Structure 1
Amino acid sequence: MRFETTRYEARQRVRGAVALTVLLSLFSLLIVYLYPSIAEAGADFDALLEAYPESVREGFGVESFSTIEGFVAGELYQFIWVLLLGLYMAYAAGGTFAGDIESKRLYLVLAAPVSRTQVAVEKTLALLTPLVLLNLLIPLVVFGGTVAIGYPVDPRYLLAVHLLSVPYHLVCLGIGQVLSVTVDRASTAQLGGIATVFLLFLLDSVTAGTDTEWLGDVSPTRYIDPTEILLRETLAVGDALLLLSAALFLLFLSVVRFRSRDL
């Protein structure tokens, strides 16, 4: 493979990836710089959190604001990094194939001496552009910000959050890509990817800590918990491997579907 498709599509995504990275970096710094005022306020925020039902605390991963680790995990990683970035990956992947089919661009690509499998793999690799950039820069921004305010987080577990969340984001990407090779309209695949990831997030959130908690086992968010990593220094490597297996299956399924469908 010479990866011409990957290089071309990655270049098309660089501007958006840089813009997203800048926005998340600024938001991360805002969250970090809010912590000293909360830590010095003297209010017992943890007691306030205890007033919420256990299912709410477990579902949204908000457990402690008394430490910088708990605050960053709850305010940044649980919502922005896990949910919103997961939605973005599903949305981006949803338009990959369906958008090219709808605009007829894919016919020009397949007119060249290139297999459908190669096209599918290279377009998938290009989707990793924002994920790579974000995982390279955001941990540096967060760690640098916490050092600057005098409440440094442990860089080992901060890095672990980013490494162990990659399989989760790949699952979200796989969901969007399966829809993208199944439908002919980009908007349908994109909205379907967003809806699927969000509904799975809700299923995990509303069943956590209840008698029906087992229903949330199908949700990828059940297997990534930044609060456990940053606050309790627990590394669920087995969960990450399970997510990676699911992601590889979804991506394999999208390739098989793309090879067999009529265009």
Structure 2
Amino acid sequence: MAIQAEGVEHYPSFERIVDIWLSFVTPGAVHSAQAIAREFGTSRSSTYRYLQILRERGLIEDVDGAGNYRLGSAFVNLVRSCEDPSTSASIAEPFVHELALASGETVLFTTRIGDRVICTVALESRQAVRVSVDPVRNVPLHLGSSAKVHLAYLEEQERARVLPRLRAAKPGGKPFDPQALERSLAAIREQGYAISDGEIEAGVRSVSAPAFFPSGSLIGAITLAAPAFRLQDKVLKQAVLRVVAAARHISDAATATQSRRASAA
């Protein structure tokens, strides 16, 4: 589909941003920053600024880390209604269900929108005592294992921009130690997973691992969450192996999806 723009010489920025977003509201629409700049008559810097505004609000998302964009995960229901099988949520969903079935615990997949992490796929445990997904549907980037995975794999410059804003987001408004947080993020990158113990809800432990596009950019994080009494150290070790394996499968599926799309182009 060609992107249409009229009267670009006297085009107010707000209207331009809206029309750029509307160009994505078509089943399967994927546009590059270069194509948008060309069709809307915007400079490179303005184009990336507009796209960043849309991306921070979840209206679009990075497809492959190579400057291509589609509708964002904030509109998962809309994206699914377009029957696009290559969204991050669609790629992750079968592995969320597989891990939930194998573990018997609550499993979810999250993506980042601006300074928060949004749950896009979730399956709650069927056990009487279980972790509800509701408290972790929309959390700041420094609370919980899933959010910390997203924060850990931000580009260093982006992480430096985000951290000062997160300091006031801790419950009770108490400041936290940014150096300690950076050390924990470095550990997450080194070991390839994150563990949280009661950071969002008391008595809940969780394990999260990152999934990646072939380009190396983050697709999202898959998380297993359970009451702490069921996720003691021995069981926790097994949970880590399962979550890391599920994340790897999502990464592999993303690679296969991208290969199919490239072959069909």
Question: If the length of structure 1 is used for normalisation, what is the TM-score?
Answer: 0.27
More helix by share: 1
Larger RCO, structures 1/2 (Cα 8 Å, 6+ apart): 1
Question: If the length of structure 2 is used for normalisation, what is the TM-score?
Answer: 0.27
More strand by share: 2
